[in-house]
Amino acid sequence: MGVFSFWSILVSLKIGIKPFIVAWINQYLSLAKAQEMSFTQHFKAYTIFAFLGYSPWLLFLISYKNKNFVSFIKSDPLFYNFAIFSFFLFFLSYLFHFLFPGARLRYILPSASGLIFLSTLPIYYYIKQNYLPGNLKIFFLKILPIINLILLVIGFIYFSFSKYKPEKIFYTFYFLFFSINLIVLFKKFSSPKYFFAFLLSIVLLLKTLYVSFYYPLHKEEMNHFRNGAFKIANIVGNKELYLCQTTPHHLLYYLKYKYKLVPHIYYLKTCSNLPKNSFILFREDNISEDILKNYKIYPLKIRTKNYFLVSS
């Protein structure tokens, strides 16, 4: 927010306040119109996915209700002032990006350092006091391992019958994650250091499991734009491709630059007269009934959007 505010003031002084506001509103509307996710999906990404992505560290913010902990922070002005700064850094960034439908959760990563500091302070406090609250012990050392073990067993059953088979490295980390949860469940840990070591290990293993599972799957079955680009290229062949008032950036990347599937791609400002002996890509919302009736159409479903490839 601070960097943006400073930048916006300088730009406004250079071009004027009104042109800046108009340009900013138009930019916002164009991004909102071109978004590849609905507001509901955006809301989920900035609530459920944010909670999952920043767990379990987000749960340590509950410690700020502890009066002894708050007194400990206030006793050190450096900690106290930096905690306030971190709060505004992270939460204002979160709210600012939440207002932009289609914005990815990763956009607030530069401000995640604020959350890191806020969640680190309780950890530092518990280690320094050599004390761990009973509710944290019960949840993280008993309930959480049980939940993890149940989910791991269900996941193993699912993968046994699933068409997609993860790679061997995935099962290696899967077994390691299962073993750590089993050990923690049956062994008593009293020191906060062991407790936080357990949290770090499960977070790292979960991230590793996600990467070893998702990226091979994405490459094979979920790379919508790459697969869509190859589908378009197979239809177009050696002919020219025209884009009717649409610029699908991801498709263009794979079609023209990444794999050089269709070297000749042009943009059409108006689509009243279609180029002959070529292909024209339309969005669902800008193709007319006449074109649908009089030309050969190839309907394409690419991620959440519908396109029509027209042979003229």
Bond preceding residue 110 cis, omega within 30 of 0: no
How many domains, the chain? Answer: 3
User: Distances in Å between the alpha carbon of 59 and those of 46, 97, 123?
Assistant: 16, 22, 11
Instruction: Using the 3D structure, point to which of 175, 197, 222 is the last residue of a domain.
Output: 222
- Residue 281: the pLDDT is 94
What is the pLDDT at residue 36?
A: 56
Which of 130, 151, 167 is a domain's end point?
130
More confident residue, 105 or 177: 177
* 148 and 91 fall within a common domain: no
291 and 206 belong to one structural domain: no
* Residue pLDDT, tens place only, 260-306: 899 899 999 888 889 999 999 999 888 988 899 899 999 998 887 89
Tell me the one-letter amino acid at 306: N
Residues 67 and 122 in one domain: yes
Report pLDDT for 216: 85
Mean of pLDDT values over 97-119: 83
CA angle 194, 65, 42 (to 5 degrees): 85
Average pLDDT, the chain: 85
What pLDDT shows up at residue 152? 94
User: Is 55 within a domain?
Assistant: yes
162 and 101: one domain?
no
pLDDT of residue 175: 95
One domain for residues 177 and 234: no
Q: Which of 187, 222, 257 delimits the end of a domain?
A: 222
Domain shared by 250 and 300, yes or no: yes
246 against 219, higher pLDDT: 246
The count of residues in the chain is 312
How does pLDDT run across 8-37, given as a tens digit for each residue? 788 788 888 888 787 777 666 655 555 556
H helix or E strand, kind and range, residue 310: strand 305-311
Interstrand relation of 305-311 and 296-302 (parallel, antiparallel or unpaired): antiparallel
Let me know whether 40 and 84 are in one domain: yes
pLDDT in tens, 139-175: 888 888 999 999 999 999 999 998 888 989 999 999 9
What pLDDT is attached to residue 223? Answer: 82
Domain of 142?
A: 132-222
State whether 261 and 278 are in the same domain: yes
Q: Is 1 within a domain?
A: no
State the pLDDT at residue 235. 95
Q: Is residue 27 part of a domain?
A: no
Q: Are 227 and 258 in contact (CB under 8 A)?
A: no
What span, in angstroms and rounded, lies between the C-alpha atoms of 177 and 204?
10
Q: Per residue in 187-218, pLDDT tens? A: 877 778 888 888 888 888 988 998 899 888 87
- Is residue 298 domain-resident? yes
Q: Is residue 11 part of a domain?
A: no
Q: Answer yes or no: do 149 and 95 share one domain.
A: no
* Tokens linked to 253: 């990347």
Q: Are residues 144 and 202 in the same domain?
A: yes
Please state whether the predicted TM-score (pTM) of the whole model is above 0.75: no
For residue 230, being part of any structural domain is answered with yes
178 vs 38 pLDDT, higher one: 178
Residues 157 and 213 both lie in one domain: yes
What residues contact 2, with CB distance under 8 A and at least 6 apart?
none
Does some domain include residue 99?
Answer: yes
Task: State whether 246 and 214 are in the same domain.
Answer: no
Please, are residues 20 and 82 in contact by the beta-carbon 8 Å criterion? no
